[in-house]
Structure 1
Amino acid sequence: MAEVKLFGRWNSPFSQRVEMALKLKGVEYEFIDEDLRNKSPLLLKYNPIHKKVPVLLHNGKPIAESSVIIEYIDETWEGPSILPKDPYERAMARFWVKFIDEKCLTAMSEACSKTGEEKEKAIEEAAQLLKFLEEEIKGKKFFGGENIGLVDISSNFIGYWFGILQELMGLELLTKEKYPNLCEWIDGFINHSFVKDYLPPKDKITEVYKAWLNRRSNFA
């Protein structure tokens, strides 16, 4: 049997992306939970450039970056397709993942971490970016159509983590009134039988975010 290890963090949406892909394919693996404040020598060895999780180790060969890992998983193991088969649809899926990672997540994170005018600017930018996803998901069950695919997996922060953080901070950025299609997708995504069994417990994620908010307030 192929040796598969995943260096990740239990509360990382990026690690969770890879776990979802592995589980979707039915791949057995060992999860190595990293302390990101005290990174292991193995993590630094296998990802010397970014020094981040996740890192997939397959038969001793490391692959880094969640979107790259997911494509590798899809091409390596049999099972339900994660990326579309059609070349154009594959290209578009990659486009939306890049849009989510480089645009949406940055603006949404800054909406939570910045203060004053910078915060308001980030909220406005995030709101505009989310409108593109609102339009893209319109009339669809999932971004991948009838089944969960690459874009759905890559939107997991928007679908789960951000809702918890938004509630804690009292933000009203991603709401049903403003984004009915996107919120309908969120409800379907987090309650999907495949997804809900593997999401980190809400109470534990809440405690992580509370600790983060407390550290921020102490340095304010």
Structure 2
Amino acid sequence: MADEVKLHGVAASPFVCRAIIALKLKGIKYELIEEDLSNKSADLVKYNPVYKKIPVLVHNGNPISESLVIIEYIDDVWKGVPILPHDAYEKAQVRFWAKVVDDKCAPAVTKAFISHGEEKAVAELHEQLQFLENELNSKFFGGDNINLVDITATFLAYWVGAAEEALGIEVLNKDKFPKLTKWCDNYINCQAVKDSLPPRERVVAFFKKQFDKA
């Protein structure tokens, strides 16, 4: 009997995109259940009653919430291309840097754009990005292959560029971050990633709308 895999989310969400990339890397067939976040489905609330947030992966009726938990679940359940290393120490390091991306870089990105590129906010973002720049010593954070850190940083590779275009500012430039900007190009041109990303114009339009509101 084939696995039934459903993903509750919104295609334009970077968090949902993480789960989609993991599924595509493993070659897993799935159904995307598009949610209306202003009117969440009863299933979403039932499957994720604590946070009531996307994404939620439902595998054979069993729900898994939170994007990074979903990615690890996908890696555990389906063999093929590994997303996390097998070595315990290497795995711990990967989890650490994924946490840095989410806990340090993501809020700094948001702050830089909400402030419309205010100098102090951009300087704070650059401080966080420098840690990633220093850590990146190969094509991907996973060496020659994509790993959990790369997938976690999808918003840096794709959404940041769209936000820069929408707002007309630059926060991630080639001169200051040569390794990170090259990583962005390598990453978004990977087939599994490319096939998972929403159309750029859709993301740019979303940010323009958000910035106009602000």
TM-score under structure 1 length normalisation: 0.93
Quick one: distance in 2 between partners of 1:198 and 1:57?
A: 18
Quick one: distance in 2 between partners of 1:153 and 1:25?
A: 13
SS of residue in 2 equivalent to 1:176: coil
SS of residue in 1 equivalent to 2:202: helix
Q: Give the Å deviation of 1:115.
A: 6.1
2:158 aligns to what? 160
Instruction: State whether residues 166 and 205 of structure 2, in contact with CA within 8 Å, keep that contact through their aligned partners in structure 1.
Output: no
Q: Give the Å deviation of 1:130.
A: 0.1
2:113 aligns to what? 112
1:212 aligns to what? 210
1:99 aligns to what? 100
Matched, 1:151 2:149: yes
Matched, 1:79 2:71: no
Q: Which runs of 5+ in 1 are unaligned?
A: none
2:167 aligns to what? 169
* CA offsets 1:38-83 (integer angstroms, 9 cap, x no match): 1111111111111110001111111100000100010001211000
SS of residue in 1 equivalent to 2:49: coil
SS of residue in 2 equivalent to 1:81: coil
Q: Which amino acid aligns with 2:144?
A: E
Identity score, percent: 52
Q: Which amino acid aligns with 1:211?
A: K
Instruction: State whether residues 14 and 159 of structure 2, in contact with CA within 8 Å, keep that contact through their aligned partners in structure 1.
Output: yes
Q: Give the Å deviation of 1:196.
A: 1.5
Give runs of ≥4 in structure 1 deviating > 4 Å: none
Q: Give the Å deviation of 1:199.
A: 1.2
Quick one: distance in 1 between partners of 2:41 and 2:73?
A: 24
Instruction: State whether residues 56 and 66 of structure 2, in contact with CA within 8 Å, keep that contact through their aligned partners in structure 1.
Output: yes
* CA offsets 1:131-176 (integer angstroms, 9 cap, x no match): 00001113x0100000111111111000000111012212221100
1:127 aligns to what? 126
SS of residue in 1 equivalent to 2:179: helix
Q: Which runs of 5+ in 2 are unaligned?
A: none
